[in-house]
Amino acid sequence: MDYLQRDILRCPRVAVYGTLKKGRRNHHWLEGATLIGHDRLDAITLYDLGPYPGAKLAPSNGTVVEIYAINAQQLARLDELEDYFHHAPDKGVYDRAVLTTRHGEAWCYLYNANIDESALISSGEWQDAR
């Protein structure tokens, strides 16, 4: 069993907060996924990185997410988009972690690099102005 099969068995959902949300420019990467619902996660803090947002594992007033049911192929595509390396998660642009949502556990991509605190999105909802 490869890592994607293990990961999808562990958690067959993903929580998205930026360009992957419905109506946003990267939503097509979730083609075939099923929207389960929405939540506001207070375990992550959202930051504006310009063309896309990044989340850090840190308490907040809540980050607005959409939760999707996915399969291993969809998870592999998301790993590619998010520059996630399962063999060296701290080397990619994003790592992923399992977070608890009102719809069950879900993978969430967390930004690896340092964040400028002035880019904090206190509303928890990233708006793509581009």
The string of pLDDT tens digits covering residues 56-91 is 999 999 999 999 999 999 999 999 999 999 888 889
Kindly report the number of other CB atoms within 10 A of residue 57's CB atom: 13
Choosing from 31, 82, 105, 117, the catalytic residue is: 82
- DSSP-derived 3-state class of residue 74: helix
The rounded mean pLDDT for the chain is 91
**What is the pLDDT, as a whole number, of residue 79?**
95
Confidence of residue 128 (pLDDT cuts 50, 70, 90): low
Q: What is the pTM of this model?
A: 0.91
| 1, 53 contact by CB (below 8 A) | no
d(CA 90, CA 24) in angstroms, rounded, equals 27
- Domain 3-119, architecture per CATH: Roll (3.10)
Phi, psi of 68 (to 5 degrees): -120, 145
Element (DSSP H or E) covering residue 37: strand 34-41
Domain boundaries, the chain: 3-119
C-alpha of 115 from chain center: 16
CA distances from 28 to 25, 61, 79, 119 (A): 7, 29, 14, 26
80 is known as an active-site residue: no
